Amino acid sequence: MSLEYENDGALHAKLIEEVLSQYPDKAAKRRKKHLSIAKSGVEAGGESEILSECDVKSNIKSIPGVMTIRGCAYAGSKGVVWGPVKDMVHISHGPVGCGQYSWSQRRNYYVGTTGIDTFGTMQFTSDFQEKDIVFGGDKKLEQIIDEIEVLFPLNNGITVQSECPIGLIGDDTEAVSRKKAKEYKKTIVPVRCEGFRGVSQSLGHHIANDAIRDWVFDKKDVEFEAGAYDVNVIGDYNIGGDAWASRILLEEIGLRVVGNWSGDATLAEIERAPKAKLNLIHCYRSMNYICRHMEEKYGVAWMEYNFFGPSQIETSLRKIAKHFGPEIEEKTEKVIAKYRPLVDAVISKYRPRLEGNTVMLYVGGLRPRHVITAYEDLGMVIVGTGYEFGHNDDYQRTGHYVKNGTLIYDDVTGYELEKFIEGVRPNLVGSGIKEKYPVQKMGIPFRQMHSWDYSGPYHGYDGFAIFARDVDLAINNPVWDLYQAPWKERPPRGRAIAAE
C-alpha cells in the first residue's frame, strides 16, 4: 500500500538556507553537510526500489554549544543494549548521575521478581566520590561485586558499565571482572562505554556488541537442543512490549524464538544465540555488529525486518518465511489472512481521520525510516526525517522509504528543529522527551517515538492498532483548538474529531 506523494523540496531548501544563515560561519559550514532534501533516486524496481537519495554527512562529532539532542556511549550500552538484560545486575560505574537519569526510563518491559531474580528497574551505582577518582575505583568495584553476591545471590551475571571518569583515571575494570568472574564462577562483563567515546550513543552500541562477543560467547558450554526453525530476535528492546507483540507473530508462523535481544532477555538467551538458524534484526543500527560477527564465526545468517505497520509486517513476514521454505510460508499466509480483518478495521476507522496529515520525525537509529510506512498505511505523509546517531548506511536505507523533496536532517540542533517545524507546520511531530514540550507549545501535536509516549507496543499487528489509536488521539484532541484566547483573533486550525 505505497502512498504516492512528493514533498515541497523548494520550501525545505529555503528553510535549510535560513537556519544556516544564523550560525557563525565555521559552524554553518559544518552543519550544511548534515542537512539536505531527498532527491529522486535510481528506480531499480521490486523490493530494492530506491525512492530517493538522502545525501548527508553523519556519525561525526556534534558541534559544541548548538544543543545537539544526542546522548553518549554509556546511554548506548547501559541504556540500550545491556540494560534490558533482566537477570543480570548492571553497575553504572562512576558518579551517581548517569545511572540516576537513565533509571527506568526506557520502558523495556520484562516479567520477573524485581530485586530477587530480575533487576531491570533498579539503579546500581558505585557512586564515585573524590577519593575514588584520586585513588582509583578498582578496589571499590571488587567490593561492590562482593556486596551484590551477598544481597542478590540469584543474579545470573553482572555488567560493569563504565562512565566517563573510569577511562580517564586508568582503572582496570577488565582485570577486576576477570578475577571476580573466576571467584564466583559467574559471567562478569566490563563494558568500556565511557560517555566521551565516539560521537553519540552509537559507539556505545558497538562497544556493547563487542563485549558480548568477547565476554559472553563461547565462555560456557551451552546445553541446548537446536531446532530447524530457531531464530533470534535482535535489536528489539521490548519498549512498551514491542518484542512480545512481535514474538507472538513469529511463533504463529511456526518459528521458535530462542533468544530476544535484549528486551526481556536473560543471559541464557544471549549465550545460546549462535545456535539459532537465523538472526532477525529489527534495530539494525544498534546490533548489526554482533549479527555480522555471528554470521562470520558461527554461520548464522541475518535478515533485517520491519514490524511497524501492516505493509511492512506483511512484507517482512513473507521475507522471513521464504528463508524457511514452503511449510512456514503456508502458515505465514494464514497468519496474514487471520490479521487482515483487524488491519482493515483499524485502517477504515482511522484513515479517514488522519488522511493527508503531515508528519516530521526525529528519532534515534532505526525509527526515522522504519516507522514511515506505518504512517503511510494510515494515509499520512512524511515531510521530514532525521537521525540522532545514524550512519551512512542508515541514510542509504532511508532512501527506500522517503519521497522526493523530504527534508533530511542529521544530528539536528534544537535551533534547526524548532525552525524547521515552524516553517513546515506539520500536523504531527514524532521525536523525544526533550522535543515534546517545545513542539506542543507551538500548538503542534506530538508523540514521543522513543518511549511510545508511555503507550505501546507499536510492533506487530496488535501494536499497529495501538499506534493508529495514539496518532489519532494526538492529532484530534480538542486542546489544540483552544490555544488562542477568543478575544485575540486567529483563524481556527480545523476541527477536532471526537474519539471513537
Catalytic positions are 72, 75, 106, 205
Q: In sequence order, which ranges of 159-260 are alpha helices (DSSP H)?
A: 164-169, 173-184, 201-215, 242-252
Residue among 289 and 415 whose Cβ is closer to another protein: 415
x/- letters, 329..348, toward another protein (CB under 8 A) = ---------xx--x--xx-x
Residue among 43 and 223 whose Cβ is closer to another protein: 223
Among residues 88, 160, 164, 216, the one that binds another protein under rule CB under 8 A: 164
Binding part of the chain for another protein, among 49-57, 68-76, 211-219, 352-360 by CB under 8 A, reads 68-76
Residue among 137 and 235 whose Cβ is closer to another protein: 137
Residue among 255 and 402 whose Cβ is closer to another protein: 255
Residue among 39 and 469 whose Cβ is closer to another protein: 469
Min. distance of Cβ 464 from another protein in angstroms?
A: 9
Please report whether residue 483 would count as binding another protein according to CB under 8 A.
yes
Binding part of the chain for another protein, among 5-13, 37-45, 244-252, 297-305 by CB under 8 A, reads 244-252
Among residues 35, 51, 54, 75, the one that binds another protein under rule CB under 8 A: 75
Q: Please report which helix (H) or strand (E) contains residue 424, including its range.
A: helix 414-424
Q: Name 164's Cβ contacts closer than 8 Å, sequence gap at least 6.
A: 74, 94, 194, 195, 196
Min. distance of Cβ 276 from another protein in angstroms?
A: 11
- Are 369 and 401 in contact, with CB atoms under 8 Å apart? yes
Q: Which residues pair with 114 in a beta bridge?
A: 118
Q: How many residues bind another protein (CB under 8 A)?
A: 123
Site for another protein in 381-420 (CB under 8 A): 413-415, 418
Alpha-carbon distance 203 to 72, whole Å?
Answer: 8
x/- letters, 265..304, toward another protein (CB under 8 A) = -x-xx-----------------------------------
Min. distance of Cβ 67 from another protein in angstroms?
A: 5
Alpha-carbon distance 68 to 33, whole Å?
Answer: 15
Name which of 271, 437, 430 is nearest 364 in CA terms.
430
Say which amino acid occupies 377: D
Site for another protein in 111-130 (CB under 8 A): 111, 113-117, 121-130
x/- letters, 420..459, toward another protein (CB under 8 A) = ------------xxx-xxxxxxxx-----------xxx--
Site for another protein in 4-23 (CB under 8 A): 22-23
Min. distance of Cβ 164 from another protein in angstroms?
A: 4
Place of cell 493527508: 356
Please report whether residue 477 would count as binding another protein according to CB under 8 A.
no
Give the Å distances, CA to CA, from 14 to 17, 407, 424, 449.
5, 11, 11, 27
Please list, residue by residue across 176-208, b when 16 or more beta carbons sit within 10 angstroms of its beta carbon and e when fewer do: bbeebbeebebbbbbbbbbbebbbbbbbbbbbb
CA 345 to chain centre: 28
Residue among 318 and 349 whose Cβ is closer to another protein: 349
Binding part of the chain for another protein, among 37-45, 92-100, 283-291, 303-311 by CB under 8 A, reads 92-100
DSSP state for residue 476 in the 8-state scheme: T
Binding part of the chain for another protein, among 260-268, 296-304, 320-328, 362-370 by CB under 8 A, reads 260-268
Min. distance of Cβ 17 from another protein in angstroms?
A: 16
Min. distance of Cβ 485 from another protein in angstroms?
A: 7
Min. distance of Cβ 40 from another protein in angstroms?
A: 33
- Are 290 and 212 in contact, with CB atoms under 8 Å apart? yes
- Are 110 and 260 in contact, with CB atoms under 8 Å apart? no
Exposed, middle or buried: residue 307 (CB in 10 Å: 0-12, 13-18, 19+)?
A: buried
Among residues 53, 163, 314, 410, the one that binds another protein under rule CB under 8 A: 163
Residue among 239 and 366 whose Cβ is closer to another protein: 239
Min. distance of Cβ 393 from another protein in angstroms?
A: 22
Q: Within 13 A of 48's CA, how many CA atoms are on the CB side?
A: 2
Please report whether residue 362 would count as binding another protein according to CB under 8 A.
no
Please report whether residue 27 would count as binding another protein according to CB under 8 A.
yes
Please report whether residue 258 would count as binding another protein according to CB under 8 A.
yes
Among residues 41, 71, 190, 430, the one that binds another protein under rule CB under 8 A: 71
CA 445 to chain centre: 21
Among residues 11, 20, 50, 96, the one that binds another protein under rule CB under 8 A: 96
Name which of 416, 343, 369 is nearest 50 in CA terms.
369
Q: What backbone phi and psi angles, to 5 degrees, belong to 36?
A: -160, 175
SS3 assignment, position 430? strand
Alpha-carbon distance 55 to 352, whole Å?
Answer: 34
Compute the CA torsion angle 203, 66, 371, 121 (nearest 10 deg).
Answer: 60
Among residues 17, 49, 147, 355, the one that binds another protein under rule CB under 8 A: 147
Please report whether residue 140 would count as binding another protein according to CB under 8 A.
yes
Among residues 259, 364, 399, 445, the one that binds another protein under rule CB under 8 A: 259
Q: Name 485's Cβ contacts closer than 8 Å, sequence gap at least 6.
A: none
Site for another protein in 184-223 (CB under 8 A): 195-199, 201
